Structure 1
Amino acid sequence: MSIRKQKRITSRAIGLAALVLSLAVGATASAEDAKTQYFPLATFRVGAYASSGIPVWAGEIDYFRYINEVEGGINGIKLVWDECETNWEVEKGIECYERVKAGKNGSPVPIFLPHGDPISKALTEKSVADKIPLVTIAYGRTEAIDGRVFPYSFPVVFSFWSEASSAVNFIAEKVGGKDKLKGLKIATVYHDSPYGKETQVPLAHLAKTYGFEDIQIPVPHPGNEQSAQWAKIRQLKPDWVFLRGWGVMTPVAIKTAAKVGFPVDHIIGGIWSGSEEDVRPAGAVGKGYLAITPFPAGANFEIHQKLKKHILDKGLSDLKDPKSFGSVYYNSGVDEAIVAVEAIRTAQAHFGVRPINGEEAQWGLEHLDLSEKRLAEIGATGLQQPLKLSAKDHEGGGAGKVLQWDGEKWNVVSNGWVKSDRELLLPLIYERAAAYARERGITPRDATN
């Protein structure tokens, strides 16, 4: 090879190396110079569950706008977001995740909000590989409470197991104590999907512990025909029905229950069967229906007065139907946004005030402490339960409030937050997480709390 040719090759190599270095430095500088924090939103504004989803994002986006407009962002870092339509379908949810995971305009993705139980489960291993936390408030894989095995999955606030346990504990309050549960029949009418089946294990364990009969009755998706299921209810005569529906399934269940003569005030809807959108279509027969939720309805919380003044009254709200302001689903969006924002704030306190990446947000989530004092500062006292997460506990709350529909609005009828039997259920949850780890060859992280 000639000396001249060697020089050309060397020159090209140096030039290529300089280009690669320039791109790398440029990417780093872009991330450092970014003044915004990107939050991609996986939404479903169309499809069978759109009526549920639309108010959720109204609450979430309104809170993000409030943080930007009133507080100037999270310590000066403004929030930006865009939406990706999933239609609540797993394939589309995965496509959305893959599309957004690299971040936007130099801002990394700190947290991904799947907004769908099947989507969240499909993304469990991807999120670990990409180091992007999945925050699934009141849904998601229950064993992911054990962050030693699931470092990037956060079924925060109220898992499905806690939902089932709190519902049973509310029934115990109504009948005079847990000892009075013995001999009762509790039927669960559930959406026949992994989501709907999620409470079968804890209910079987609680039934064995407290002596009630556990009856399980599936309803095929989407649940617009339930005559056979409620005929079985009429035949079996349970004392209480725990309704774990979604979308159209809930009002159909309420109306069909009325037809067979089952008292609606002995039906307790689960988290996703307890919104205004669930009971209004049922009409007059829905009066008296109960539901358990970590997102109590109402627009009288302090944060709602702030949102009304600074966002709604200024025409900045994402809300299309004013009746949904303060609804269960709207409030769930507000709660979700509070958790996300406070996790970023916690991470900033440790890593510095700048856009936070997924690995840093994971640290922020595992050190999140939403105390009564902090909730009061936010204006969310009574709307959000106190919450403290750790590497060993990615749920942190485990309580809900029971609401009753009076024909026009929800009223809280439980004595404050109804706690679940977490001490009873956590050993089972940790066993399931350990089995998952063995099956997939995962070495759990060390964590003392």
Structure 2
Amino acid sequence: MHATLKRTFVGAFLALSICNTLPAQAATDEQFFPLATYRVGAYASSGIPVWAGMIDYLRYINEVEGGINGVKLVWQECETEWTAEKGIECYERFKNGLNGAPVAVYQPNGAPAAYALADKAAADRISLITLGYGRTEATDGSVFPYNFPVMLTFYSEASAFINYVAEREGGLDKLKGKKIATVYHDSAYGRETQGPLKLLAEKYGFENIQIPVADPGNEQSAQWRQVRQLKPDWVFLRTWGVSTPVAIKTAARFGFPVERIVGDIWASSDEDVLPAGSAGKGYLALTPYPGGAGFEIHKRIKEHILDKGKSDLKDPKSFGSVYYNSGLVNAAIAVEAIRAGQEKFGKRPLEGDEGRWGLEHLNIDAARLETIGFLGLMQPLKLSCNDHEGGGAAKVQQWDGGQWKLITDWVQADRQTLRPLIEAKSAEYAREKSVTPRDCGAES
């Protein structure tokens, strides 16, 4: 072979080899946001406004801010119907990115998928963000490096509920002898608060009553007949989708006062109370992302997205609903995690481990919340290797028949009391899976 031709051939071969071994982000200037959605099925009414909030925020980041430090966002939906099986299918479809745009973080958007994907995502080194659902023990990042139940776990939710009830009753010491019933969706999601409520009942002396509702919860006469017979002082409603308005209407039919029912964060939106009609007036609910369209981020999105006809919302009345706002908050956390990761790895698309680093170094303080327009809508959030939850607080809102009214500031969970329970569960998981916990003190 001629020497010049040989050098050209070798050079081309080496160039091709280098291109083939470059990480995915070199092929594109875009960051992929997979959207595991459920626009059909029993839970569609809850999911549709969530996706609108997420997509509107991602579009806002692209069109107003020019992306995350210049990195444009791309997204694609995959229908899960809120099932583990389809949730896994969507994850497998998305985990390698989209047209070269890599995945930095993944939001399974549903407890069934979150549980099913825990081991898969860890093996693929892709972090799951499960805001308000998923494995509470994943708070312990030493055992779950790729699982982030950010802001409000089910354990913290249960504790915030008990602390709110204590406020209403005149103090934690006044809980002794009270009857507190939990009417819950009989699934991994619904059963998740049983452990912390048992612990808190033992600590404060209240009677802990657990009443399951079979999926999807279209008929609840037996459950609310039991509530009427037991006469609890408070009911913690941990339903989901169609089961929430059914619960509210059935409670009213059996004469249980709705102002003594506190819904959890998945039973706390307009879509949960509007179908209940007048029976919902006075209903209470916990939320880490209160309803309302008066926050700064809403003003920005209205101007740049809604008013220009670019919103994903099908019903403009859902703008500012609790679930729409949850979509905003979910998207903002993912965006801020990538922004944090870019501070270390450069202003470019990030891979899974880089996204994990960003999450574990996420620090959204009040000043940052004000800058991005989320002050009041979202609590400050600081994560670390040891703490994959952060915040641990919720506000309580009440339905007045037409809209939600906030009736408390942030109600903080007793995370110190809950932590031993979390560590016991994470240690059990580590033993079962032969996981060697990380040394979080050595992480940087």
Identify whether the pair has TM-score above 0.5, normalized to the shorter chain: yes
1:105 Cα deviation after fit: 2.2
Q: Is the 8 A contact 2:291 2:320 kept in 1?
A: yes
- Give the distance between the partners of 1:17 and 1:48, measured in 2 at CA: 58
1:239 Cα deviation after fit: 0.2
Q: Does the alignment pair 1:386 with 2:380?
A: yes
Structure 1 residue matching 2:162: 3-state secondary structure: helix
Moved more, 31-40 or 126-135: 31-40
Structure 2 residue matching 1:158: 3-state secondary structure: coil
1:20 Cα deviation after fit: 9.5
The one of 432, 435, 441 equivalent to 2:428 is: 435
1:401 Cα deviation after fit: 0.4
The one of 51, 57, 65 equivalent to 2:59 is: 65
1:31 Cα deviation after fit: 2.5
Paired positions, count: 435
Q: Deviations over 1:107-142 (max 9, x none)?
A: 211011100101011111111111100000000100
- Give the distance between the partners of 2:237 and 2:15, measured in 1 at CA: 58
1:440 Cα deviation after fit: 1.1
1:22 Cα deviation after fit: 2.3
Distance 1:96 1:17, change over 3 A: farther
Q: Is the 8 A contact 1:30 1:105 kept in 2?
A: no
Q: Deviations over 1:17-65 (max 9, x none)?
A: 9879725524627632411111111001111111111100100010001
The one of 119, 130, 134 equivalent to 1:125 is: 119
Distance 1:24 1:104, change over 3 A: farther
Q: Which residue of 1 is the match for residue 147 of structure 2?
A: 153
Q: Is the 8 A contact 1:112 1:135 kept in 2?
A: yes
Supply the AA of the counterpart residue of 1:424.
Answer: T
Supply the AA of the counterpart residue of 1:124.
Answer: A
The within-5 A match list for 1:28-47 is 28=22, 31-47=25-41
- Give the distance between the partners of 2:236 and 2:106, measured in 1 at CA: 30
1:347 Cα deviation after fit: 0.3
1:360 Cα deviation after fit: 0.2
The within-5 A match list for 1:411-426 is 411-414=405-408, 416-426=409-419
- Give the distance between the partners of 1:445 and 1:263, measured in 2 at CA: 48
Q: Which residue of 2 is the match for residue 4 of structure 1?
A: none
Distance 1:235 1:17, change over 3 A: farther
Q: Which residue of 2 is the match for residue 344 of structure 1?
A: 338
Structure 2 residue matching 1:443: 3-state secondary structure: coil
Q: Is the 8 A contact 1:27 1:106 kept in 2?
A: no
Structure 2 residue matching 1:395: 3-state secondary structure: coil
Q: Does the alignment pair 1:243 with 2:228?
A: no
Q: Does the alignment pair 1:266 with 2:260?
A: yes
The one of 247, 257, 262 equivalent to 2:251 is: 257
Q: Is the 8 A contact 2:25 2:348 kept in 1?
A: no
- Give the distance between the partners of 2:332 and 2:24, measured in 1 at CA: 27
Q: Does the alignment pair 1:395 with 2:389?
A: yes
- Give the distance between the partners of 1:224 and 1:118, measured in 2 at CA: 20
Supply the AA of the counterpart residue of 1:430.
Answer: E
Q: Deviations over 1:307-365 (max 9, x none)?
A: 00000001110011011000000000000011000000000011001000110000000
- Give the distance between the partners of 2:160 and 2:23, measured in 1 at CA: 49
The one of 177, 181, 188 equivalent to 2:175 is: 181
Q: Is the 8 A contact 2:185 2:212 kept in 1?
A: yes
1:106 Cα deviation after fit: 1.9
Q: Which residue of 2 is the match for residue 320 of structure 1?
A: 314
Distance 1:201 1:290, change over 3 A: same
RMSD: 1.7
Structure 1 residue matching 2:440: 3-state secondary structure: coil
The one of 286, 297, 305 equivalent to 2:299 is: 305
Q: Is the 8 A contact 2:24 2:102 kept in 1?
A: no
- Give the distance between the partners of 1:217 and 1:295, measured in 2 at CA: 27
The one of 266, 279, 297 equivalent to 1:285 is: 279
Q: Which residue of 1 is the match for residue 164 of structure 2?
A: 170
Tell me the TM-score normalised to structure 2 length. Answer: 0.96
Structure 2 residue matching 1:123: 3-state secondary structure: helix
Q: Is the 8 A contact 1:49 1:88 kept in 2?
A: yes
The one of 78, 93, 101 equivalent to 1:107 is: 101
Structure 1 residue matching 2:88: 3-state secondary structure: helix
Q: Is the 8 A contact 2:51 2:324 kept in 1?
A: yes
- Give the distance between the partners of 2:108 and 2:130, measured in 1 at CA: 7
Q: Which residue of 2 is the match for residue 444 of structure 1?
A: 437
- Give the distance between the partners of 1:198 and 1:41, measured in 2 at CA: 25
- Give the distance between the partners of 2:375 and 2:147, measured in 1 at CA: 26
- Give the distance between the partners of 2:119 and 2:257, measured in 1 at CA: 44
Structure 2 residue matching 1:396: 3-state secondary structure: coil
Q: Deviations over 1:124-161 (max 9, x none)?
A: 11111111000000001000000000000000000001
Q: Is the 8 A contact 1:190 1:243 kept in 2?
A: yes
Q: Which residue of 1 is the match for residue 91 of structure 2?
A: 97
Q: Deviations over 1:379-420 (max 9, x none)?
A: 101101000000000000100000100000001111x10000
Structure 1: which 5+ residue stretches go unaligned?
1-6, 8-14
Q: Is the 8 A contact 1:165 1:202 kept in 2?
A: yes
1:439 Cα deviation after fit: 1.3
Supply the AA of the counterpart residue of 1:224.
Answer: N
Supply the AA of the counterpart residue of 2:176.
Answer: K
Moved more, 427-436 or 400-409: 427-436
1:260 Cα deviation after fit: 0.8
Supply the AA of the counterpart residue of 2:52.
Answer: A
- Give the distance between the partners of 2:158 and 2:320, measured in 1 at CA: 25
- Give the distance between the partners of 2:433 and 2:92, measured in 1 at CA: 23
Structure 1 residue matching 2:301: 3-state secondary structure: helix
- Give the distance between the partners of 1:24 and 1:163, measured in 2 at CA: 50
